[in-house]
């Protein structure tokens, strides 16, 4: 995606390129999230500590691991520092466990994909200080935190009788693995032969859906006697296998294993929870591995002493068309069970509660006079107000979708949480349900404050106007009008039109209230305009239904749009209404950008060529300026208040032109293989900082320069990860000195006010008035 930001008007590097410059020492920067407050993505797992109240963790598929702050229901990210700058490998969490004997210890299985999208093998991370620091055990295979079946589990468990022992159920046919040294090392359990057989789409050539799901959960039976060495003797393991058997048990601490007799074979077990007081195992089943599939399922109770299964599937009075995922037991009230549908797409998810071990159930909602519904709940989204107009007001699925994790706090029967594909819901009055009255409503609240797991597609900051525009995956996008609002959850997301994913956003440099954004789903018009800085939007009448995604650029006066769509090729429209027409002088897939002060000028880049249009995007020509040694151009940023000033990020570093690309000068050779480049207001009067992802003295990092690229400062530091530099989105503030934004693929937008020298950062250098 293209980020259109500022350039540097002073401290220019002129003819002949720049000499390599020593990099300055990295300052200590404080990075924090731009607040959405509602998560914005899938939460497939939650684990409460069984012995210590207030200790709980939530895992996400692409946004890392979070620790609960019980005083205010907020969450703290605990895996930012371990995100690999060459990827976002450690933000994929496929399994989670705590040590029942030590409330400081937490374990997680890290890795994003088992196919070649993630080149790195998985790891089991262990922390003794509630996630503040981590150590790792390398695995000889991959882990899939964002693979199908990621809501099953938990696949990782600590033996409550001997916490030196951990088991991990792997994917991809790798079977069961065991640690006997507290998670420092793992070895395969050769006595466990089952590996799972189910792959959602065996013929999928990408490897995403053709990989077998493997093992689904590991559950220790605390009621069983201890074996030699103090280990728990009875352990249950679930597998994604509906052909032979899916539920296995050992009675001798893992020496031998057997399929449990009489088990249902039609479905795959998603959750297996032990009720120690009842000596029973509860299992939720679905005919898909989730989180998107599943059209049938069941809930069973296994009486351990009798060795007997009982079908306790809740009824909705008709044939169910969904599987079951979420399953919670109330440790304070044995026999109290809550289960959820995995995917009920209309009109909503189903959540059921039983207080008699599944003999009878009550529903959270039921039909009244269709289409009216009786509800046992009311909703509160104060922590993320945008969920209201963006989703609840426009969708029947108020309870969410993809419910795989559902937990009741083992220390508080009223406190419950469940994860969805949008946010984390829950509350503190669950037992109101037991009044069995449609008038006595419990409150379900959005409780994802602190969980930021959006995939950010583009970011921009308008000098004298809107402080931050963030285009996101899954939840559309957001407008933050001023820097003061960055710590407040927005009241609304981008809608009218609403697209699940917005691929890009741009603004008119000389008329900053004019903004354009593009969606990513062909089949409907995917371009919208705003004339109030991104507060309200209108569909562009000239867009067709075929073009989508890519990169968009708006002319300085807001009259012309050049759109490098994917699919759709390079397109152009003028006047806000004109139908888009093909631009044949730029290659398909080219980067496009607009000069922010000269409305007749647009820039383009493809491969090793830089292009300029002087007729408002009608035609493009290869620029005269040479970017020596550059074979691949990655990003183009035009100065927001100076015409003809443009920066280009390439595999050979960052280049700068002050004359519309007629000549280019290279910045310091200390920074190579650069990715996104952006500019923002600097500390000195009328100065602009330049920021870039690239490879410098500190490695692949985010760097900043206050001297036109002569020297580069590591502004990322060792304590903040952004994931892979190639997908990081970048914007410097057009209004606040030293303020810089990083959009990530999974952890939302980060911000920091950085010091690159000169006066104290943070002072405003431009007025809030948008340019006319």
Q: What is the DSSP string of 8-27?
A: --SS---TT-----PPBPPP
Would you tell me which CATH number, out of the four given (1.20.1050.10, 1.10.287.3510, 3.40.50.1980, 2.130.10.10), belongs to the domain 37-446?
Answer: 2.130.10.10
Homologous superfamily (CATH) of 456-753 is: YVTN repeat-like/Quinoprotein amine dehydrogenase (2.130.10.10)
As to burial, measured by CB atoms within 10 angstroms (0-12 exposed, 13-18 middle, 19+ buried), residue 388 is: middle
DSSP state of 672: B
Q: Is 544 a catalytic residue?
A: no
Given a cut of 70, the residues of the chain with pLDDT beneath it are 1-28, 86-87, 757-772
Q: From CA 409, how far away is CA 557, in angstroms rounded?
A: 56
pTM for the whole structure: 0.94
Q: From CA 1, how far away is CA 744, in angstroms rounded?
A: 12
Q: For residue 81, give the 3-state DSSP assignment.
A: helix
pLDDT reported for residue 89: 87
pLDDT reported for residue 28: 61
Residue carrying the six token digits 């062909």 = 522
Question: Which residue out of 102, 204, 296, 474 is catalytically annotated?
Answer: 474
Q: From CA 602, how far away is CA 488, in angstroms rounded?
A: 35
**Nearest Cα to 410, choosing from 538, 553, 276?**
276
In the chain, residues under CATH classification 2.130.10.10 are 37-446, 456-753
Q: Is 474 a catalytic residue?
A: yes
Contact 673, 725 (CB under 8 A): no
Residue carrying the six token digits 């991809």 = 172
Question: Which residue out of 61, 211, 330, 714 is catalytically annotated?
Answer: 61
Per-residue pLDDT of 196-213, as tens digits, reads 999 999 999 999 999 999
Cα three-residue angle 140-270-428, rounded to 5 degrees: 115
pLDDT reported for residue 674: 97
Per-residue pLDDT of 26-53, as tens digits, reads 456 799 999 999 999 999 999 999 999 9
């Amino acid at each position: 995606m293209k980020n259109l930001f500022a350039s540097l008007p002073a401290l220019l590097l002129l003819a002949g390129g720049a000499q390599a410059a020593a990099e300055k020492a990295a300052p200590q920067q404080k990075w924090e999230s731009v607040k959405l407050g509602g998560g914005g993505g899938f939460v497939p797992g939650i684990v409460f500590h069984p012995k210590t109240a207030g200790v709980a963790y939530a895992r996400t598929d692409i946004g890392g691991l979070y620790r609960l702050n019980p005083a205010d229901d907020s969450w703290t990210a605990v895996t930012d520092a371990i995100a690999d700058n060459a990827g976002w490998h450690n933000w994929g969490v496929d399994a989670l466990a705590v040590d029942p004997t030590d409330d400081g210890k937490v374990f997680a299985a890290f890795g994003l994909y088992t196919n070649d999208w993630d080149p790195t093998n998985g790891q089991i991370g262990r922390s003794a200080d509630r996630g503040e620091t981590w150590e790792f055990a390398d695995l000889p295979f991959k882990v899939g935190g964002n693979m199908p079946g990621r809501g099953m589990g938990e696949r990782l468990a600590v033996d409550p009788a001997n916490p030196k022992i951990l088991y991990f159920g792997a994917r991809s046919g790798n079977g069961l693995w065991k640690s006997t040294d507290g998670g420092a090392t793992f070895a395969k359990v050769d006595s466990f032969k089952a590996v799972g057989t189910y792959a959602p789409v065996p013929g999928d050539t990408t490897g995403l859906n053709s990989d077998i799901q493997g093992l689904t959960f590991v559950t220790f039976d605390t009621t069983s006697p201890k074996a030699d060495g103090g280990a728990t003797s009875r352990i249950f393991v679930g597998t994604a296998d509906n052909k032979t058997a899916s539920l296995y048990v050992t009675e001798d601490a893992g020496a031998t294993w057997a399929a449990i007799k009489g088990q249902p074979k039609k479905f795959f077990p998603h959750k297996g929870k032990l009720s120690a007081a009842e000596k029973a195992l509860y299992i939720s089943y679905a005919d898909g591995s989730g989180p998107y599939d599943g059209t049938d399922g069941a809930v069973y109770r296994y009486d351990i002493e009798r060795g007997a299964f009982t079908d306790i599937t809740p009824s909705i009075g008709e044939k169910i068309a969904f599987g079951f995922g979420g399953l919670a037991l109330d440790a304070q009230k044995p026999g109290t069970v809550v289960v959820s549908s995995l995917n009920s797409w209309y009109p909503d998810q189903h959540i059921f509660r039983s207080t008699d071990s599944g003999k009878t159930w009550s529903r959270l909602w039921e039909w009244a006079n269709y289409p009216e519904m009786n509800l046992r709940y009311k909703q509160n989204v104060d922590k993320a107000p945008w969920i209201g107009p963006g989703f609840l007001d426009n969708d029947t699925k108020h309870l969410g979708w993809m419910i795989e994790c559902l937990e009741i706090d083992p220390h508080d029967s009223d406190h419950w949480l469940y994860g969805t594909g949008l946010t984390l819901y829950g509350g503190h009055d669950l037992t109101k349900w037991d009044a069995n009255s449609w008038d006595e409503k419990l409150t379900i609240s959005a409780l994802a404050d602190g969980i930021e797991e959006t995939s950010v597609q583009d970011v921009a900051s308008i000098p004298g106007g809107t402080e931050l525009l963030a285009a996101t995956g899954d939840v559309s996008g957001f407008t933050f009008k001023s820097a003061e609002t960055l710590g407040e959850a927005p009241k609304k997301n981008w809608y009218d039109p609403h697209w699940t994913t917005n691929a890009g956003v741009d603004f008119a440099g000389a008329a900053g209230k004019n903004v354009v954004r593009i969606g990513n789903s062909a089949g409907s018009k995917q371009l919208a305009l705003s004339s109030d800085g991104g507060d309200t939007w209108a569909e562009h009448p000239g867009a067709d239904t075929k073009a989508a995604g890519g990169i968009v650029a708006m002319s300085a006066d807001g009259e012309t749009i050049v759109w490098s769509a994917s699919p759709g090729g390079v397109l152009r429209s003028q006047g806000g209404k004109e139908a888009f027409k093909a631009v044949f002088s730029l290659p398909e897939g080219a980067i496009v950008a607009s000069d922010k002060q000269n409305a007749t000028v647009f820039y383009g880049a493809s491969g090793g060529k830089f292009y300029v249009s002087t007729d408002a995007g009608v035609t493009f020509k290869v620029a005269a300026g040479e970017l020596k040694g550059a074979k691949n151009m990655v990003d183009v940023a035009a100065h927001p208040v100076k015409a003809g000033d443009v920066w280009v990020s390439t595999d050979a570093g960052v280049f700068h032109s002050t004359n519309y690309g007629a000549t280019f000068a290279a910045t310091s050779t200390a920074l190579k293989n650069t990715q996104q480049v952006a500019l923002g207001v600097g500390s000195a009067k009328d100065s602009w900082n330049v920021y870039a992802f690239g490879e410098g003295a500190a490695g692949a990092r985010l760097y900043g320069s206050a001297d036109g690229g002569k020297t580069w400062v590591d502004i990322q530091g060792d304590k903040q990860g952004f994931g892979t530099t190639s997908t990081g989105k970048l914007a410097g503030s057009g209004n606040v000195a030293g303020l810089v934004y990083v959009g990530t693929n999974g952890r939302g937008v980060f911000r920091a006010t950085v010091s690159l020298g000169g006066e104290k950062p943070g002072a405003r250098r431009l007025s809030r008035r948008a340019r006319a």
